[in-house]
Amino acid sequence: MAAIMARMKIGVIGGGFVGSTTAQRIAEKQLGDVVLFDIVDGMPQGKALDLAQAASVYGYDSSVTGANDYGPLEGAKVVVITAGMPRKPGMDRSDLLKVNGKIMQEVAGSVQEVAPDATLVVVSNPLDVMCYVAHLVSGLPRKKVVGMAGVLDTARYRAFIAEELGVSVKDVQAMVLGGHGDSMVPLTATASVSGIPVSDLIPAERLEELVTRTRHGGAEIVQLLKTGSAYYAPSAAATAMVESIVLDQRRILPCCTLLDGEYGIDGTWVGVPVVLGSGGVEEVIELDLGAADREALRASAQAVRSGQDEVSAMLGLS
């Protein structure tokens, strides 16, 4: 029998809603062999076994294994980090920052020990600040740490535009920049449908309503679900990023990256268009934004910056 070529190893940290659906999508697309890690005893193993059995019906060859220790992640080339705690009643923003900051500190350090070459795709909230923690703790170059938020926010924006016009979402091009939260910056001037500016198709006031709905896209789903938050679109977005890295597609996607003077912003993790390839963030693309969008991006970066400073002080990072 011919020797079996090893597939690329892809880690997913956190086997909750986003982590397990991301593992499922990666396996179904056969992007690599998946190791699903969680601290809950038996949970990642159980989900992995379930996914491995689905393979015989669905027809994929990727393996999925579960783990409660970092050993099986050895040599992973991409690691998606979804570990975190949801905000509980009585917790304020700073409490959440501290709890998830500590989790990210532990996860990024442990991944770095077993998979020092991995590109980290950060998903945990508060997203932009978690990228900052992962980058500092891992000591990786900035191109090897990238955050998922813009692809999701853009997916929501595109879905709302497509629904409004009654056209295929495949033909809608748009981009959401900035931090992941109310201060995000959905661009209206460059949004288009098959090359036709959206501003020619949707009146300005209505487009503004779609922008507002995009800003609160996550909250709208939380309100409906009552417990938990979105995971189908978030896992689809994380998987698109993994695919672009693993297959070196060099897609231009809005991702959270460390800005180093681009857009007049320095030392802050913000969502901007990047070229995503096998090396991680291969290039940061600097758009010529209008004055209002540029200002909104700076304000969004300012909010992230204060979160970065706060978490640094809390965790003693520098």
Q: Which is nearer to ligand TXD, 152 or 191 (by Cβ)?
A: 152
- Shortest distance, CB of residue 201 to ligand TXD, whole angstroms? 27
SS3 (DSSP) at 32: coil
Total residues belonging to the chain: 318
Which residues are the active-site residues?
180
Contact of 258 with 252, CB cutoff 8 Å: no
- Shortest distance, CB of residue 82 to ligand TXD, whole angstroms? 4
Listed in sequence order, the residues at least 6 apart from 297 whose beta carbon sits closer than 8 Å to its beta carbon are 177, 178, 185, 263, 265, 270, 272, 289
Q: What is the distance between the alpha carbons of residues 289 and 182, in angstroms, rounded to a whole number?
A: 19
- Shortest distance, CB of residue 57 to ligand TXD, whole angstroms? 24
- Shortest distance, CB of residue 153 to ligand TXD, whole angstroms? 7
Q: Which is nearer to ligand TXD, 69 or 209 (by Cβ)?
A: 69
CA angle 109, 111, 115 (to 5 degrees): 130
Tell me which residue has its CB nearest to ligand TXD: 16
- List the one residue out of 230, 248, 272, 185 whose CA is nearest residue 82: 230
Q: What is the distance between the alpha carbons of residues 203 and 161, in angstroms, rounded to a whole number?
A: 12
- Shortest distance, CB of residue 261 to ligand TXD, whole angstroms? 25
Q: Which is nearer to ligand TXD, 54 or 236 (by Cβ)?
A: 236
Q: Which is nearer to ligand TXD, 16 or 277 (by Cβ)?
A: 16
- What are the counts of helices (DSSP H) followed by strands (DSSP E) for the chain? 9, 14
Q: Which is nearer to ligand TXD, 112 or 124 (by Cβ)?
A: 124
Contact of 307 with 97, CB cutoff 8 Å: yes
Residues that bind ligand TXD (CB under 6 A): 13-19, 38-40, 82-84, 86, 103, 106-107, 123-125, 127, 148-149, 152, 180, 228-231, 234
